[in-house]
Amino acid sequence: MAKDKLTQLGQAAKQPASPDEAVLERVGNPHSDTDYLVRFAVPEFTTLCPVTGQPDFAHVVIDYAPGKWLVESKSLKLFLGSFRNHAGFHEDCTLSIGKRLVEVIAPKWLRIGGYWYPRGGMPIDVFWQVGKLPGGLWVPEQGVAPYRGRG
């Protein structure tokens, strides 16, 4: 749930034990009258395989066109870090992140790309978007190359 009073920024904040315990915070968008893009790139995202308990790794890219709210970045870092002890399939983790952000900040448009490193010999990439992309908004490619192994 979003809190409009910041409780993590500018002070010591403990890493949440799970995504459910993590608090995503939001701040007002000082340019809510302008369409623009915000991008968060998380090249070292980790979580656990729900079957084996082994670590899974991904490069996650989150793009959104803000409305009234922005996600506060420290709370986002803590939320994403809380997945390190969470067991979830790639699809579940990627969509859970995207849906939680939508719940808290209600963006005009959001897309998330989860570029997962191979599990069982094959990478699994997961993509989701919601909302209507504002007309004329420049949205660059996410910039993550497809997995090609060692070659």
Q: How far apart are CA 56 and CA 40, in angstroms?
A: 20
- Residue 49 known to be catalytic: yes
Among the listed residues 33, 35, 56, 125, the single catalytic one is: 56
Prediction pTM value:
0.91
Place of tokens 């979003």: 2
> Catalytic one among 49, 63, 92, 93?
49
pLDDT tens, 108-140? 999 999 999 998 788 899 999 999 999 999 999
Domains recognised in the chain with CATH numbers: 30-131 (3.30.1130.10)
pLDDT, tens digit (0-9, with 9 covering 90-100), for 58-92: 999 999 999 999 999 999 999 999 999 999 999 99
User: Residue 1: what pLDDT?
Assistant: 45
